[in-house]
Structure 1
Amino acid sequence: MRIGTALCLLAVLSGTGGCAAVRTEPLAAASPLDFLPALRGEYFPIHSAETGRTYHIHVRLPEGYDAAAATPYPTVYLTDGDSLFPILAANHLFLTYDDRLPEAIVVGIAYGGFDPAVNKRHIDFQSPGAGVAPDAAGAAAFQRFLKTELIPEIERRHRSDGARRVLFGQSRGGAFVLYSAVTDPDLFWGRIASNPSITPGIESLLEPAAPATRRDLTLVVTSGTRDRPNLQVGAARWLSVWQARPERPWRLFGERIEGGTHAANAPDAYRLGLHRLFDTDASP
């Protein structure tokens, strides 16, 4: 019997309640990544009842991580883990060395390939709006996957600080970060949207935000000066609307990355965003 299934059964039999419909797969055998210490952690696939998809979850654990210690760590969740996890998770080590940013658990949410037959980012990250077919707007289901399936699994497996969750997304993943900020502010303590691609679907990103109970939330939106012009315009429009709303549930920072292109400067957006979240000097 799988561990997750056994825990669910125990919860039911003990009368403490049920559990989310989460199905995790057996751990894979050792891989070459086990010998890259900057990315050392774990991998597991998880099938989502919310989206009907299996995701490949890569976890980078902090240097010196001790599962038996009481130390909780901030946890960064990366969309587009297929490409961003090996870049940003490894770079986090240098951010702790050079920038004195806190160590963190870094979680990459991957599809296992770039082929649209497998990679459904165009659905999972898509918010509803004009010109978007209902079955193509999967942001709500993907967020439920994060909230009810993946996050509880990560926090069960590791010493993840549930009060300091961070969500990072690039391009369409950045648009999902904005969708999450508007629709469920409390889910993540910090959010970083890098060069968000917010059309179509901008309408739902401009609606009033859902109520928040926390008062320590932060949202950082970065835009490269060499990003695609239409994406810069869209990001500027979104920022201007929300900067004019004093009732927004998070501190909001709009940052320009000089010379930044659409995707190649994701590490700069990650670095700048984390400095804003942890209130440290964001200068290079």
Structure 2
Amino acid sequence: MRRLASPLVVALAVLAGCSSAPPRPVDEVPLNHLPALAGDYFQLDSRHVGRGFHIYVRLPEGYDPAAATLYPTVYLTDGDSLFPILAANHLFLTYDDGLPEAIVVGVAYGGFDPSVNRRNIDFQSPGAGVTDAQAGAEEFQRFLKTELIPQVERRYRSDPSRRVLFGQSRGGAFVLYSAVTDPDLFWGRIASNPSITPGAESLLEPAAPASRRDLALVLTSGTRDRPDLQREAALWISTWTARPERPWRLFGPRIEGGTHAANASDAYRMGMNWLFDTDAAP
């Protein structure tokens, strides 16, 4: 009598058959199968930073590259984690809050492992106890200014007058560094629960001159964030509120019940609605 193949043998045969499937075309962007994240992806090697980045781009609903419409463009630090959350959520903010559609750009490392993810260097501003090798914020900002932003504005219908920078934790500290050292680079900035120590000294120095008079900055702080980070945020807000010569409008809301990382979407929503002065603005 012929013996039937065991379930394990059958399963292995099925898997072996699956392995012969043709590879996905390299020019296909998998995120295009997720409508709220549909857009583009490219890799960009930085001569300033000396490393490469994965760049994810979410394009607005109904985006037409041949149309004359230009869109605000939001640049996200920590794109590995923030891009899939905030880029998709932007669509719902246009539905519910009347927020303008935008191009959303996630600057990603390709992983969380320290051998790949160098946010501890790229977002670090100079300060007491910080060596030159540790403080990479200046080079990272040069990468954004001279390499990434020109690429984005060549490839897509991006409005140079309405760039927004969003960062969380150390990424939020980099947002503040950018605001102080190169105010004109971004029209709007949102720092969510920034972790500004070490390097706080350079974030409290007088700001570089700005040519624009419509710049704005949001610093959100969660009431359940670490107490030391809440104190740092309060110090930064109070210091700059007392300086009428600051180059940007300043808004420093608290997020009731907000923790350090889990409320990044609330910070984005609150900050973007305030920047664009929607009906949902706090």
TM above 0.5, yes or no, is: yes
Task: Classify the secondary structure of the residue corresponding to 1:191.
Answer: strand
Q: How many Å apart are 1:93 and its aligned residue?
A: 0.2
Q: Hey, what does 1:107 align to over in structure 2?
A: 105
In structure 2, the residue matched to 1:134 is: 132
Q: Which has the larger radius of gyration?
A: 2
Question: Aligned partners of 2:143, 2:102: CA distance in 1, in Å?
Answer: 22
**How far does the alpha carbon of each residue in 1:74-98 deviate from its partner, in whole angstroms, 9 at most, with x for none?**
0000000000000000000000000
TM-score when normalising by structure 1:
0.89
1:241 is displaced (CA, Å) by 0.6
Query: Does 2:96 align with 1:98?
Result: yes
Aligned to 2:254: 256
Of 109, 120, 136, the match for 1:122: 120
User: Counterparts of 1:225-236 in structure 2 under 5 Å?
Assistant: 225-236=223-234
Matched, 1:194 2:203: no
> Contact 2:125 / 2:177 at 8 angstroms: preserved in 1?
yes
Q: Is the 8 A contact 1:194 1:221 kept in 2?
A: yes
Deviations 1:29-58 (A, max 9, x none): 324322001000000000000000100000
Counterpart of 1:124, as a letter, is D
1:170 is matched with which residue: 160, 168, 176?
Answer: 168
CA displacement at 1:276 relative to structure 2: 1.1
1:75 counterpart residue number: 73
Instruction: Tell me if the contact between 1:28 and 1:43 (Cα under 8 Å) persists in the aligned partners.
Output: no
Q: What is the distance in 1 between the residues matched to 2:176 and 2:170?
A: 10
Residue in structure 2 matched with residue 62 of structure 1 by the alignment: 60
Where do 5+ consecutive residues of structure 2 fail to align? Answer: 1-24
Residue 154 of structure 1, aligned match among 144, 152, 157: 152
Find the partner of 1:180 among 178, 181, 191.
Answer: 178
Residue 281 of structure 1: how far off its partner (Å): 3.5
Give the aligned CA root-mean-square deviation in angstroms.
Answer: 1.1
Q: Percent identity?
A: 79
Residue 26 of structure 2 corresponds to residue 42 of structure 1: no
CA contact (8 A) 1:226 1:260 kept: yes
Structure 1 unaligned residues grouped into runs of 5+ = 1-26
Maintained 8 Å contact 1:28/1:44: no
TM-score, L = length of structure 2: 0.90
